[in-house]
Structure 1
Amino acid sequence: MSHTMRKEENALHDNELGRVIPCNALDWSDPFNWLRLGLMDMTKAPLVTLFYGIIFTLVPIGIMYLVSLTENHLVIAPAIVCFMLVGPFLAAGLYDVSWEFEKGHKPTLWHSIKAMSRNNVHEWAFAILLLVIMIFWLRIASLIHALYPPYISDDFSELLPFLALGTGVGALLSAFVFTISAFTQPILVERKVDLMTAVLSSINAVWSNKGVMAVWAAIIGVGVVIGFLTQFIAFLVIMPLLAFATWHGYIATITTKRKRRFE
């Protein structure tokens, strides 16, 4: 689907914090088109997709194993948020696969792994940023848990206020992380720009297309929930699909000064 860039719709512009790459105006059907294109990439690179799918499956299994060691089911929600925080960084290799297809190349596992170091300093800075946010969330979750009355039983009606508070805080943090990271990693993979430019450009794209990006965020959220409900087995397919689709979303959303000429 073609897009006509309307600069007046951009929420942010170059400022004292950094440069902002303009974005296109999106249509409501775009997120579903990204999924369709992502599914095509999956079928063309099944082995690379499986490799990353296994990683995306093992990570939450490891998280939940650590949760089980605490013998406290109330830390499951923070663990889910933590998984959503590290997802964008882990997906860098899959972005490279889609990019290779667009250039008419045959993607390889090693080439996709090297993509994580293409913009090394700023990609690691982004990973550290996500890690700091994750630690911040865990501390907030611990504080909420510590302040809650110790005499509350496991009865759901008595747990509801606690769960509502934790879910609300987690939802706000997830929305913040989605805004700053929706397209940050793809930008860093394809372009030699600094982290602030990538983050500001992601914020601009999300805020300028709030409704459409809310649909995309909901699709990601549903995918994560399905993964957890299936004991993470569905992550073998869901997470690579979302990563491939994110790359196509980035191509459709973030503009370039000149038309891309893939060889």
Structure 2
Amino acid sequence: MTAKRKSDGAVARSPAMPQVNRIAFGDLAEVLRAGLSDFARAPQYGLFFGGVYAAGGIIIALSLTIWKIPWMIYPVAIGFPLIGPFVAVGLYEVSRRIGAGRPLDWRGVLGVIWLQRQRELGWMAFVMLFVFWVWMYQVRLLVALILSRMSFSTFDRFIEIVFTTPQGWIFLAVGHVVGGALALVLFSVTVISIPLLLDREADFVTAMITSVKTVLASPAPMISWGIFVTLAVIAASVPLFVGLVVVLPVLGHATWHLYRKAIQAP
């Protein structure tokens, strides 16, 4: 049973389990071009949401410095992209409106985001923040187990230790393996589920299962997309997160188009 959208607050009814399409590497280039096109058509929205994300990174980095744990900036910068898909919800809505030929206005876009507090998307925020918390906890655990005898009170000293000492190399190796596993799990359950929950009326468990099915149906292209997005966001975070102002909106718009390719229309 389906129902057309009646207003900004109404969403189309969809089958309990959406049907998944296979994704090819050529599709990735196509969705990236589409993401660039959407950003060029509505740059004010992209710059706004990208700026909010970048500001969040700057505030976290400054807070860690004030709290005298600047060495945590590195793991935070690595883990920060984990919550990017949730921040991109506004970008998904902009791309949806552009694709449907509907007018763009701040009240409508922000209103749809505000509406999500009453829907299943809030549970996905909890999932993403929980994984981010696990990432930060395991970093502190590895520091205690591997670097406990090292002394570092500044970010520069921490970087020196992890890149120039055997203990630091072990810390990097183990930390990145664990972090990579967490990132793969989170990417698999969120890459499709978040735009799906925005677009259709579905429960968050069904959305996560659909997202995992999409990754399993096209593992090489989908994992490659996840790696590309992660590396792009990390690279954009290096100059005080300012690169995220442009990189996040382009990737957010592109992910919406990836969702539209990966999931059959109801």
1:92 aligns with 2:60: no
Aligned to 2:76: 79
Residue 115 of structure 1 aligns with which residue? 112
Equivalent in the alignment of 1:4: none
Residue 170 of structure 1, aligned match among 172, 179, 183: 179
Unpaired runs of at least 5, structure 1 = 1-17, 258-263
Q: After TM superposition, give the deviation of residue 81 of structure 1 in Å.
A: 4.4
Q: Map Cα deviations across residues 95-117 of structure 1 (whole Å, 9 max, x no partner).
A: 01010011111212222222224
Q: Tell me which residue corresponds to 1:215.
A: 224
Please give the alpha-carbon distance, in whole angstroms, between the structure 2 residues aligned to 1:194 and 1:81.
30
Distance across 2 between alignment mates of 1:217 and 1:142: 25
TM-score between the two structures when normalised by the length of structure 2? 0.84
In structure 1, the residue matched to 2:140 is 142
Matched residue type, 2:265:
T
128-137 or 143-152, which deviates more: 143-152
- Larger mean Cα displacement after TM superposition, 104-113 or 196-205: 104-113
Tell me if 1:224 matches 2:222: no
AA aligned opposite 1:51: F
Q: Write out aligned runs for 1:1-263 (5 A).
A: 19-72=16-69, 74-119=71-116, 120-152=118-150, 154-155=160-161, 156-158=164-166, 159-257=168-266
Q: Output one character per residue of 1:124-155: Cα deviation in whole Å (capped at 9) or x when no partner.
A: 11111112222222222222212225323654
Q: Which amino acid aligns with 2:226?
A: A
Instruction: Name the count of aligned residue pairs.
Output: 240
RMSD of aligned residue pairs (Cα, Å)? 1.9
Structure 1 residue identity aligned to 2:57: P
**Paired residue type of 1:98:** S
CA deviations 1:210-256 (Å, max 9, x no partner) are: 00012211220121122122221211100000100000000010112
Take 2:141 and 2:18, find their aligned partners in 1: how far apart are those partners? 38
The letter for the 2-side match of 1:165 is V
Aligned mates of 1:134, 1:28 — CA distance in 2: 29
TM-score (norm 1): 0.85
Task: Give structure 2 stretches of 5+ with no counterpart.
Answer: 1-14, 152-159
Identity over aligned pairs, percent: 27
2:78 touches 2:234 (CA, 8 Å); kept in 1? Answer: no
